[in-house]
Structure formats: C-alpha cells, structure tokens
Amino acid sequence: MRNLEQAGVLPPATRTTNGYRVHGEIHVHSAIAYRELAAGTGPAEAKKILRAVHRGHLSDVLSQLDGAHARIDAERAELRRAKAAAHAIADEPIADVRPSDSMNISELAAALGVRTSTLRHWDAEGLAVPVRDPARATRRYLPPHVRDARIVHQLRQAGYRIESLRALMPELRSGRRFPDVDAALAARDTSIEKRSRALLTGAAALHELLARRATNDDQ
C-alpha cells in the first residue's frame, strides 16, 4: 500500500497522532481499480490512469481508457487475420518447384511488408532459411521458403515468440504439429479475452471510485 501511495495510485493517507496510516474506502476502491486495470492494460498504464483520477483529470482518464480498449480491439482483429492466414498458408500445395519461382530477399521483403533485416534474422534463427546462390552467396527463396516466411510473419503478428517458433517450424514443415499453431493462437485469444474482461471490471471499479471522489469533494 505504501508503494501504491508513493506511485500516486492511492491518494495520501491520513495519519493518526502516533504516525500510523489510516486508509478509507477511497483507498480500497483505488486499489481494486488499479488491480483490475493492471491486469487489463498493464501496471504502467494503470498507474497513469489512477494518477489522473486523483488529480481530477477526467478527460485524461477517459482518453487512456479509450486507448486501452482500442489496443485490445486491434489485437483481436489482428489475431483473427492471423488465424485465417496461418490456416490458409499452411494448407497451400507446393509442387513442381522451379528455379524461376524463387524470389530474392528484397522481393520477398516487399511482398510481406517487412525489412530485409527481418528476413535475415529469421534466416539466422532457422525460421525461414533460403538457399544460397553458389556464385554470389545471395539468398534465394523457393516456394517452400516463401511459405515458411509467410507463416512466420503471420504468427509473429499474432504474438508468437521467436524462441517458440524456433522449436515449432521444423515440425510445422513436416506437417506433424500444425495443431500446436492452433493451440498457440487459441492461447493468445484467451489472453486477450482475460485482459478485456479485466479492463471491463477495472472500468466499473473506476466508475465507482470516481463517484466516491465526487461525493467526498461535495462534502
């Protein structure tokens, strides 16, 4: 509680004559609101919101809440796209690969909308490993490598970490563990839902806190 008070999450406590802190309902409601908001939008953002509450900056409170909801909504939309894309890409038939079907690193980067340095990083991590031109040692991406890069790109957008992809991609190429991709995306969906629910609960607690502050200010 002392740390939260120092951070401005709680209003300053009154003290008894012998120096003990006295916390009232306003402190309880502040702590509840912070707990839920931290679960929904992260501790740093939750602290900013509570500090704005105690400074009486209602427009800042509402703006920050709107931003938190918008970020979660954007994550949810991105995850929907990633689910659809990962399934579609993983099921692509690739046959009769010809040298003319290959792409260089600049062409693939442009097609995916990423930097060439990102593709080099994925190559170094073993996620999308192209062949090398024996004469010039330049990277050439054949259709299977392009598919790998597309899958990595979509799953990275969905929040999949590099270390997890490093273990998964060899299995995914062989077709044995695509359910793991489904499970990872479902876990991401669950995480977003939990944060969204926590943000909703936090907003309700914040409404109660604002009402109590208004009552105290009127007295």
Q: What are phi and psi of 97, to 5 degrees?
A: -70, 130
Q: Are 68 and 40 in contact (CB under 8 A)?
A: yes
What is the pLDDT tens value at each position of the chain, 219 positions in all? 778 888 888 888 778 778 788 788 888 889 999 999 999 999 999 999 999 999 989 999 999 999 999 999 988 988 887 777 777 666 666 666 666 778 999 999 999 999 999 999 999 999 999 998 888 889 999 988 988 898 889 888 877 889 888 877 877 776 656 677 778 888 889 999 999 999 999 999 999 988 888 777 655
Look at residues 105, 110, 118, 133 and name the one whose alpha carbon lies nearest to residue 165: 118
Q: Are 1 and 10 in contact (CB under 8 A)?
A: yes
Q: Are 145 and 129 in contact (CB under 8 A)?
A: yes
pTM given for the model = 0.67
Q: Which long-range contacts (CB under 8 A, 24 or more apart) does 207-213 make?
A: 208/29, 208/33, 209/26, 209/29, 209/30, 209/33, 209/53, 210/53, 210/58, 210/61, 212/25, 212/26, 212/29, 213/26, 213/53, 213/54
CA distance 13 to 57: 20
| Residue 42 φ/ψ region, left for φ over 0, alpha for ψ in the -120 to 50 degree band, beta for the rest | left
8 Å CB contact between 20 and 43: no
Q: How far apart are CA 148 and CA 122, in angstroms?
A: 10
Q: Which residue has the tokens 């593709």?
A: 119
Structure token digits, residue 177 = 């563990």
